[in-house]
C-alpha cells in the first residue's frame, strides 16, 4: 500500500499542476499566453536546476528518515521571483523596435535641422526677432500633422481607413483640414510673434507683414511636404502591419524640422524686395479667409468639427510656442557662443514632443477602443506605457547629445565636450519626458471627459507645451552644468 501511494502521489501531483497550468493559460489574455508560456518554461528550467542542487545537499546532510518531506516543503515555500522585466521587454519588443527606429530616424532629421540652424547665425543676428518665430513654425507643423497622424492611426485601428481621396473619406477629410489649418495658423503665428514681442518688450526688426509672409508662405511650403510624408507613412504602416501610433509622431516631427527651417530661411531672402512683402501678404491673408470660410460653411460635418476643435487649441499652442521662441531669443547670445547647442536645440525640443505624442496616440487609441478608462489617477496598466516612454527617452537623448557633439566637430562648431553634451541632453531630456507623460495622459483623458476627440487636442497641446517646457528644461540643465548664467 505504501509503495502504491509512493508511486501515485507524484503522478497525480504532476497531472494536477498540468491542469492548473492549462487553466492559467486559458484565463490569461490571448496575446499574453505565448509570452507566459515562454517565461514559465524558462522559469521551470531554472527551478529544476535549483531543485536538483538542494535535493543533493539535503540527501548528504539530513538523515534518511523524513528528508524527502523537508526538501519538498523547502522547495514549495522558497521565494519565487518572476522575471517581470524580461517579460515586459519581450511583450513590448515590437513597440520598442518600431519606436526606436522612428525616433532615431527623426533625431537624425532634427540634427540636420540643427546644423542648418547653426549655419544661419548671421541671419538670426541680422533679422532680430526671427528666432521668436522659428520654434513656433516648426512646432506648429508637428501639432497639425501629428494630430493628423493620430487621427489616421485611430481610423486604422477601428477599420475606417481607406487609401483614397473620395469625398467624405477619412484621408480626404484630413488633407482638407491640414491645408486650412496650415494657412490659418500661419497668419495667427505672425500676429502673435509681432504683437507679443511688442507687449513683452522683446526686440524685433520685422514688421507684421514680414512675419505673415515668412510664417504663412514658409509654413505652407513645408506643410505640403510634411503632409505627403504623413500619408506615405500611414499607407506603409497599413501595408506592413506597423502600429502608426508608434511611428507617426517621430516621423512627422523629423520631416517638419528638416523642411520648415529651410523653407523659412528661403523666404527670408525675399524680405525687403520692393512690393513683394505687401502683395504676397495680402494674397495670403485673402486665401486664408476664403479657406476658413469654405471649411466652416461648406465643408462636411466631420471637417467642421475637426476645425472647430483644433483652431482654439492650436491658437493657445501658438501663444506657448511664441513664448518659447522669445525665451530662446533672449538667450540667443549663449547659443551663438557655443553653436553645438544650436545643433542640439531642434532635436532636443522635438524629441520631447515626439515622446509625448507617442504616448498620447497610444492612450487615444485605447480610449477609442474601450481599453482605457479615464481616471484622475492613471490605472496601473498605463504605467507600462509610461515605462516604455522612459526607455525611449534614455536611448534617444543620449543619442542626440553624442551625435550633436560629433556633428559640431565635423562642421567646425565649438562644443563643450562629449560628456557634457550627453549629460546636458539626458538630464534636461528626463525632465522634459516627465512633463510630457503628465501632459499626454491628462490631456487625453481631459478632452475625452469633455466630450472632445483626444486625437484633435492631445498632440497640439503636447507639442506646444513641450516646446516651452523643453526650452526651460534645456536652460535649467545648461545652468546646472555651468554652460549658461
Residues 285 and 421 in one domain: yes
Residue at 418 is within a domain:
yes
Is residue 485 a part of any domain in this protein?
A: no
Asked whether 278 and 272 are in contact (CB, 8 A), the reply is no
Check if the beta carbon of residue 108 is closer than 8 Å to that of residue 425.
Answer: no
**334 is a domain residue:** yes
Q: Could you tell me if 257 and 200 lie in one domain?
A: yes
What is the pLDDT at residue 37?
44
pLDDT for 427 equals 95
CA count, 13 A, side-chain hemisphere, 63: 2
Residues 124 and 58 in one domain: no
Same domain, 45 and 111: no
| Same domain, yes or no: 279 and 395 | yes
Question: CA–CA separation, 188 vs 464, rounded Å?
Answer: 14
Distances (CA, A) of 394 to 194, 388, 397, 425, 469: 37, 10, 6, 10, 18
Task: Count up the domains in the chain and report the number.
Answer: 2
What is the pLDDT at residue 102? 76
pLDDT at 67: 58
Domain's final residue, options 36, 55, 87: 87
- Report d(CA 185, CA 411) in Å as an integer: 34
Sign of CA dihedral 461, 464, 465, 470: positive
Asked whether residue 211 is assigned to any structural domain, the reply reads yes
pLDDT reported for residue 90: 64
Residues 301 and 434 grouped into a single domain:
yes
Among 427, 416, 262, 426, residue whose Cα is nearest residue 339: 416
Query: Could you tell me if residue 315 is inside a domain?
Result: yes
Indicate if 331 and 221 belong to the same structural domain. Answer: yes
Q: What pLDDT does 35 receive?
A: 42
Q: Residue 261 falls within a domain, yes or no? A: yes
Domain boundary, last residue among 59, 87, 115: 87
- Residues with Cβ within 8 Å of residue 245, at least 6 apart in sequence: 150, 153, 358, 361, 362, 364, 365
| 169 assigned to some structural domain | yes
- Co-location of 79 and 111 in the same domain: no
The pLDDT of residue 12 is 43
Question: Are 227 and 318 in a shared domain?
Answer: yes
Q: In which domain, by residue range, is 52 found? A: 2-87
pLDDT recorded at residue 51? 38
Question: Are 281 and 392 found together in one domain?
Answer: yes
- 83 and 147 belong to one structural domain: no
Helical segments of 28-127, H only: 33-61, 67-76, 84-91, 93-119, 121-126
pLDDT score recorded for residue 211: 94
Task: Tell me the H-state helices in 127-243.
Answer: 130-158, 170-200, 208-212, 218-240
pLDDT at site 76: 56
* Within-domain flag for 411: yes
- Which of 87, 105, 120 lies at the terminal end of a domain, its last residue? 87
Q: What is the pLDDT along the chain (485 residues), one digit of tens a residue?
A: 444 444 444 444 444 444 444 444 444 444 444 444 433 433 333 333 333 444 444 444 444 555 565 655 655 555 444 445 445 556 667 777 777 887 887 788 778 878 888 777 778 888 888 889 988 888 888 788 878 887 888 788 777 777 777 777 888 888 999 999 999 999 999 999 999 998 888 888 899 999 999 999 999 999 999 899 888 888 888 788 777 766 776 777 778 778 888 899 889 988 888 888 999 999 999 999 999 999 988 778 888 888 988 888 889 888 988 988 888 888 777 777 777 888 888 888 878 877 887 888 788 778 877 778 777 788 877 888 888 889 999 999 999 999 989 988 888 888 888 999 999 999 999 999 999 899 888 888 888 787 777 767 777 777 778 878 888 898 899 889 887 76
| pLDDT at res. 68 | 60
Are both 166 and 273 inside the same structural domain?
A: yes
**pTM score of the predicted model:** 0.64
Residues with Cβ within 8 Å of residue 51, at least 6 apart in sequence: 75
**pLDDT reported for residue 402:** 92
Amino acid at each position: 500500500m505504501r509503495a502504491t501511494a509512493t508511486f501515485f502521489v507524484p503522478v497525480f501531483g504532476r497531472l494536477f499542476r498540468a491542469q492548473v497550468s492549462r487553466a492559467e493559460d486559458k484565463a490569461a489574455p490571448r496575446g499574453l499566453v505565448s509570452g507566459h508560456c515562454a517565461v514559465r518554461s524558462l522559469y521551470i528550467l531554472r527551478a529544476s536546476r535549483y531543485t536538483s542542487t538542494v535535493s543533493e545537499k539535503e540527501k548528504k546532510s539530513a538523515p534518511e528518515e523524513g528528508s524527502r518531506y523537508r526538501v519538498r516543503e523547502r522547495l514549495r515555500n522558497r521565494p519565487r521571483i518572476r522575471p517581470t522585466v524580461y517579460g515586459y521587454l519581450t511583450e513590448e519588443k515590437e513597440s520598442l523596435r518600431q519606436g526606436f527606429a522612428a525616433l532615431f530616424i527623426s533625431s537624425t532629421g532634427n540634427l540636420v535641422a540643427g546644423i542648418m540652424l547653426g549655419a544661419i547665425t548671421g541671419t538670426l543676428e541680422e533679422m532680430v526677432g526671427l528666432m521668436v518665430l522659428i520654434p513656433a513654425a516648426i512646432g506648429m507643423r508637428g501639432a497639425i500633422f501629428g494630430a493628423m497622424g493620430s487621427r489616421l492611426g485611430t481610423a486604422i485601428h477601428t477599420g475606417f481607413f481607406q487609401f483614397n481621396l473620395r469625398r467624405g473619406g477619412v484621408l480626404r477629410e484630413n488633407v482638407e483640414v491640414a491645408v486650412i489649418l496650415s494657412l490659418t495658423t500661419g497668419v495667427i503665428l505672425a500676429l502673435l510673434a509681432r504683437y507679443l514681442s511688442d507687449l513683452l518688450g522683446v526686440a524685433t526688426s520685422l514688421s507684421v507683414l514680414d512675419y505673415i509672409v515668412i510664417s504663412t508662405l514658409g509654413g505652407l511650403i513645408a506643410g505640403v511636404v510634411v503632409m505627403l510624408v504623413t500619408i506615405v507613412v500611414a499607407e506603409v504602416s497599413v501595408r506592413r502591419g506597423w502600429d502608426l501610433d508608434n511611428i507617426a509622431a517621430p516621423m512627422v516631427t523629423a520631416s517638419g524640422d528638416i523642411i520648415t527651417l529651410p523653407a523659412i530661411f528661403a523666404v527670408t531672402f525675399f524680405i525687403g524686395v520692393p512690393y513683394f512683402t505687401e502683395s504676397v501678404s495680402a494674397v495670403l491673408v485673402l486665401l486664408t479667409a476664403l479657406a476658413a470660410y469654405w471649411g466652416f460653411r461648406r465643408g462636411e460635418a466631420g471637417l467642421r468639427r475637426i476645425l472647430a476643435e483644433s483652431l482654439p487649441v492650436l491658437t493657445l499652442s501658438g501663444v506657448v510656442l511664441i513664448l518659447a521662441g522669445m525665451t530662446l531669443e533672449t538667450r540667443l547670445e549663449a547659443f551663438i557662443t557655443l553653436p553645438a547647442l544650436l545643433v542640439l536645440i531642434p532635436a532636443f525640443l522635438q524629441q520631447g514632443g515626439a515622446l509625448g505624442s507617442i504616448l498620447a496616440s497610444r492612450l487615444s487609441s485605447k480610449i477609442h477602443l474601450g481599453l482605457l478608462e479615464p481616471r484622475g489617477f492613471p490605472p496601473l496598466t498605463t504605467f507600462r506605457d509610461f515605462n516604455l516612454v522612459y526607455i525611449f527617452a534614455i536611448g534617444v537623448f543620449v543619442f542626440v547629445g553624442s551625435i550633436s557633439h560629433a556633428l559640431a566637430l565635423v562642421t567646425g562648431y565649438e562644443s563643450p565636450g562629449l560628456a557634457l553634451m550627453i549629460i546636458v541632453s539626458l538630464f534636461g531630456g528626463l525632465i522634459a519626458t516627465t512633463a510630457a507623460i503628465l501632459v499626454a495622459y491628462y490631456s487625453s483623458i481631459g478632452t475625452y471627459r469633455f466630450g472632445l476627440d483626444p486625437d484633435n487636442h492631445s498632440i497640439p497641446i503636447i507639442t506646444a507645451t513641450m516646446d516651452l517646457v523643453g526650452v526651460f528644461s534645456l536652460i535649467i540643465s545648461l545652468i546646472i552644468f555651468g554652460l549658461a548664467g
